[in-house]
Amino acid sequence: MNQSRPKPTSARQSAVPIRGMALDVLGEWAAGDRFAADLMDRMQRENYLSQPDAAFLRDIVLTTLRNLSLLDHWIAVLTEDKHLDHRSRWGLRIGLCQILILKVSEHAAVNETVAATGRARSLINAVLRRACRETESLLAMPATLPLETRTSHPKWLIQHWLGLHGEAKTTALCEWNQIPAPMCARVNHLHPEMAASADDFIVCEQLPREELSDGKVYMQDPSTALAPRLLAPQPGERVLDACAAPGGKTALLAQLMGNTGEIIACDVSPARLRRLEGNLRRLHVTNAQIELHDWADPQVPAFAEAGFDRILLDVPCSNTGVMRRRVDVRWRLQPEDITAQMETQAQLLKNCLRVLKLGGTLVYSTCSIEPAENERLVECVLESTPGYEFVSTRRSFPPEDQMDGAFAAAIRRV
């Protein structure tokens, strides 16, 4: 069974009721459509959590979501498939998560989880204490369980991937998604103190808060560099980043251009543009102009009438390449979602191709590993859009490339 990274347990009997907060976050997550990360951010702000307490909250919530099916299997065994109300089930889930996966002190895991669960305390207490006695046999179970249970992925998604990738690659992908993602940062060579650095991406043991605040680094997986580097913008060119927020790829484009030429960075939401503007300022980007525009709209805005030498189009997608990092996705995604955005993706691509200069290059990109959103969509659009030719692709498959999944296709106007 895949384990999360070792966690310090010495301070886990804090007076702060982290287990109760975890139950509240998971209950709200299950009842709505909010992302767990957003709910935890709000919980941290409202309760003024210290960094260690906030980190422990994230460990419990994300590890529970990452192992949901396996935890439910253990619960069924330990309760003899007893019917449970929602809060009791979440209580058992987070308790077993602490005992069997996070390896938190049994005393703290049991007592503080029981205290947080309310009216079902006697049941929670009995089940968790039994789990402590039977840890060895419980930890031996995953080896005999189906892939969808031992790696906690929806069965439909595994069947879908088996059809695309076969058993070995699907198994490797599901196991990859069970390993907590490392904190990766891109070194910002636009910062005067980092210009001579030989590093492009680094793995951080802790969040580099000071370096982030100074704009020396930007938290970003190496897979996000595939599309900007395939686009290869040159100094002095006019470049469009059509779906730019929060700005990590825009900043890399500016770095590749030596902060010369012009980047038009667009997005559809004023709030997202404010975040984009703040990130670009902090990252020392000086050649970007920010514009509010939705490229799903066929009307060409005035700032695009002169056309662009290069265009980066990073479209909304199913996010199946980043499930290790975005733990919610596997449980939120439905079979129809993989193709639900294809019409919008195709419209975005067609509209952006219209403002590409003759001889110019557009790179279409996703963080998906689904052919329907990637090469098949590009092929379909080019078949119905004369005057453009396919150039090349870049892609990453997480277990093989040891980074998030991504796809990028370069198209030239001829």
Give the start-end residues of each E strand in 188-249. 201-204, 217-219, 238-241
Contact 149, 73 (CB under 8 A): yes
pLDDT of residue 165: 96
Alpha carbons 398 and 128: distance in angstroms, whole number: 35
Mind listing the pLDDT tens digit for each residue in 396-407?
999 999 999 999
Kindly report, residue by residue over 328-362, the tens digit of the pLDDT. Answer: 999 999 999 999 999 999 999 999 999 999 999 99
The pLDDT tens digits for 60-95 are 999 999 999 999 999 999 999 999 999 999 999 999
Q: Is the pLDDT of residue 310 over 60?
A: yes
Question: According to the model, what pLDDT value does residue 120 have?
Answer: 86
Identify the band that residue 252 occupies on the pLDDT scale cut at 50, 70 and 90: very high
Where is average pLDDT lowest: 7-16, 95-104, 222-231? 7-16
Active site residues: 367
My answer on whether omega of the bond before 246 falls inside 30° of 0, hence cis, is yes
Quick count: other Cβ atoms within 10 Å of Cβ 189? Answer: 18
Distances, alpha carbon 254 to alpha carbons 153, 221, 286, 348, in Å:
38, 18, 8, 23
- Structure token pair of residue 390: 């396919």
Mean pLDDT (the chain) is 95
Whether 97 and 63 have beta carbons less than 8 Å apart is answered as: yes
Closest of 233, 225, 226 to residue 361, by C-alpha:
233
**Contacts with 407 (C-beta within 8 Å, 6 or more apart), sequence order:** 321, 365, 366, 367, 368, 369, 373, 374, 375, 393, 394, 395
Mean pLDDT lowest for which of 84-93, 118-127, 192-201? 118-127
List the structure tokens of 337.
Answer: 């979602």
Report the topology of domain 18-152. N-utilizing Substance Protein B Homolog; Chain A (1.10.940)
Write the pLDDT tens digit of every residue in 157-186: 999 999 999 999 999 999 999 999 999 999
What pLDDT sits at residue 150? 97
Distance CA(236)–CA(88), nearest Å, equals: 61
Could you tell me the pLDDT band of residue 119, with boundaries at 50, 70 and 90?
Answer: confident
Predicted local distance difference test score (pLDDT) of residue 3: 44
8 Å CB contact between 116 and 91: yes
314 annotated as a binding-site residue: yes
199 in a known ligand binding site: no
CA distance 85 to 22: 17
Task: Give the residue with greater pLDDT, 195 vs 1.
Answer: 195
Residue 118 — pLDDT band, cuts 50, 70, 90?
confident
**Overall average pLDDT of the 230-240 stretch:** 98
Residue 108 annotated as binding site:
no
Looking only at the bridges linking them, the beta strands covering 308-314 and 356-366 are parallel
Supply φ then ψ for residue 312, to 5 degrees. -105, 125
CA dihedral 199, 203, 207, 212 (to 10 degrees): 20
For residue 73 the two structure tokens come to 């299997």
What integer pLDDT is reported at residue 205 of this predicted model?
A: 92
User: What are the C-alpha distances in Å from 115 to residues 119, 128, 166, 169?
Assistant: 10, 12, 46, 43
- 33 annotated binding-site participant: no
243 annotated as a binding-site residue: yes
pLDDT for position 8: 40
The pair of three-digit structure tokens given for residue 148, joined into one six-digit string = 């969808």
Query: For residues 189 and 403, what is the distance between their CA atoms, to the nearest angstrom?
Result: 21
Instruction: Count Cβ neighbours within 10 Å for each residue of 63-87 and write b for 16 or more, e otherwise.
Output: bbbbbbbbbbbbbeebbeeeebeeb
Using an 8 Å Cβ cutoff, are 207 and 388 in contact?
no
Length of the chain counted residue by residue = 414
187 pLDDT higher than 50: yes
Nearest to 320 by CA among 368, 375, 376, 366: 368
Tens digits of per-residue pLDDT, 1-45? Answer: 444 443 443 344 456 899 999 999 999 999 988 999 999 999 999
CB 249 within 8 A of CB 227: yes
Q: Looking at the domain 225-413, which fold is it?
A: Rossmann fold (3.40.50)
How is the chain split into domains, by residue range? 18-152, 225-413
Of 168, 285, 360, residue with least CA distance to 276: 285
Answer yes or no: is 247 a known binding residue. Answer: yes
Report the pLDDT value the prediction gives residue 160, as an integer from 0 to 100.
97
pLDDT at position 167, please?
98
pLDDT tier, 236 (very low <50, low <70, confident <90, very high otherwise): very high
Is the separation of the CB atoms in 226 and 246 below 8 Å? no
- The rounded distance, in Å, linking the Cα atoms of 117 and 121 is 6
Are 354 and 413 in contact by the 8 Å Cβ rule? The answer is no
